Structure 1
Amino acid sequence: MTKMAYATTNTTYARPFGFDTNRVFRMIADWRLYRRTLVELETMNDRELADLGLSRYNLRAVAREAVYGA
């Protein structure tokens, strides 16, 4: 009679506390949308911005609010 032994290895990879890859991807996507929004606003002339009630001074704040909320 032959006896065989089996060994199983379970490997788990520890992630740093609070690390979430989905969150990182969302942050990157939000940043890209912010940049696109800002670039589009910056390409408008002063008349177009005035029609929207905006000035060049507050474009970053407007783009930030549009992407990230209030």
Structure 2
Amino acid sequence: MAFTADIRTRDTSVFQRIERAVDAYISKRALRASYRQTVHELKALSDHDLNDLGIARQDIPAVARKSVGL
């Protein structure tokens, strides 16, 4: 029976993990900013315009989340 040792070095340093965490945070912040902007713009529309788009006023947060991928 042969024995092999699988020694793997971690290819991610602490700095790379921190960089990934910061990138994820920045991406999430950008998504939230896009969500807030979308909600703001939809709320500025009249009920008639929202109706033309097929959006009920109470559905604005859900539509905004879906549009930005949250």
Same fold, judged at TM 0.5 (above): yes
Deviation above 4 Å: which 4+ runs of structure 1? 12-17
Count of paired positions: 57
Q: Does 1:24 align with 2:25?
A: yes
Offset of residue 57 of structure 1: 1.0
Deviations 1:12-55 (A, max 9, x none): 867889x6110000000000000000000000000000000011
Letter in 1 for 2:61: R
Amino acid at match of 2:36: R
With the length of structure 1 as denominator, give the TM-score of the two structures: 0.71
Larger Rg belongs to? 1
Instruction: Report matched runs for 1:1-12 at 5 Å.
Output: none
Question: Larger % of helix: which?
Answer: 2
User: What is the alpha-carbon root mean square deviation over aligned residues?
Assistant: 2.4
Q: Which amino acid aligns with 1:23?
A: A
**TM-score normalised by structure 2 residue count:** 0.71
Match of 2:51 in 1: 50
Residue 34 of structure 1 pairs with residue 24 of structure 2 = no
Identity %: 30
Give SS of 2:61's match: helix
